[in-house]
Amino acid sequence: MDAPWDVVDVATLGESMVAFLPGRPGRLADVPSFDRSIGGAESNVACALAASGHTSRWIGRVGADGFGDHLVERIAAYGVDVTAVRRDPARPTGVYFRTAGDRGTGAHEVAYYRAGSAASAMSVTGVDLAAARAARVLHLTGITAALSAECRTLLDTLTAPAPGRPMVSFDVNHRPGLWTDGEDPRLLLDLARRADIVFVGADEAREAWGLHGGSAIVRALPEPALVVVKQGRSGATAFHRHTDAAEDADGTATPVRAPRVDVVSHTGAGDAFAAGFLSATLRGLPLRTRLRHGHLFAAAALTSPADLAPPPARDHADRLAALDDDAWGRLRLGPGWTQAEQAPEEANTP
């Protein structure tokens, strides 16, 4: 019988890959060299939380290869518990290459080499479920459900109501390119409805479910106590249910606009937002403050070219999150802002 796992603040489960970032702008066909990094929605969240002072665990499956070594070592270097990661001698670690241009432009290219990866073989019997459940929060995403039928069954098992189940955080992360059977809208909706906290972009809710606006989204998700609808540059709105869904269908809406950001790359911003929100949730901060921390963590990712950017120091984020509404509205964050040791008023650069 396996020894019991220590309870961490957040456990995450999903695929992490080695990312190759171009040395200069241009098409993948023209870029002569790449720098190696790491990327993966769930491991990004675990790393950001560990860097912010929380205990976190990443659970995954990588190949018994050099890329798998690199991933495990890099993620562990953030302070993340990686002892539940399993190595697969028969399948490779996934990798991907991307161009330097932002993914919001038509020139952006990403080439994934993840089909048949070790992570796609994650299953109920191939993952230590106890490691995932030994957490205050279990964070999952819709990306894992797209990897294989076995991964979908795994998420179904982890999100099923059960005694002692941790709080489940679910980021919809709808990636149409990963799905081949057209079942993604229904499956993602089913998984979201089993979660306690749901993160979903207004754009992906329109694309996946044909839902327009926060009220329509939250009514389609009657079970979660908290639904966070991300609205890009406009900010995010959290819908909190205080009573039975039938009596409180929309819940209380708490909107918080995003600060102005000089964007370098959008990659990883959604994962960073989830990490910031969960960090503030674990600390018991008010809902409005949780959203501000989500925006600040996202701003750290938006102002960095890397797929995984260090979050702001906790005291720095706390000072900015405590700004009054006028000062928050004047806040503008550019590259390097997380390293700035400034008083809150000095961070305002209209």
Starting at the edge strand that comes first in sequence, how are the strands of the sheet with 252-256 ordered? 56-59, 8-13, 135-141, 167-171, 197-201, 226-230, 236-240, 252-256
Q: How many CB atoms lie within 10 A of CB 244?
A: 9
At residue 342, the pLDDT reads 45
**How many Cα atoms are found within 13 Å in the side-chain-facing hemisphere of 349?**
11
Distance, CA of 158 to CA of 200 (rounded, Å): 19
Q: What is the DSSP string of 283-336?
A: TT--HHHHHHHHHHHHHHHHT-SSSS-PPPPHHHHHHHHTS-HHHHHH-EE-TT
At residue 102, the pLDDT reads 54
At residue 307, the pLDDT reads 73
271 is catalytic: yes
- Encode pLDDT of 148-198 as tens digits: 999 999 999 999 998 889 999 999 999 888 888 778 899 999 999 999 999
The stretches in the chain having pLDDT less than 50 are: 1, 342-350
C-alpha angle with apex 147: 264 to 153, nearest 5 degrees? 130
At residue 346, the pLDDT reads 34
At residue 280, the pLDDT reads 98
Which residue is catalytic, options 271, 307, 318, 324? 271
At residue 209, the pLDDT reads 95
At residue 249, the pLDDT reads 63
> What's the pTM value of the predicted model, to 2 decimals?
0.92
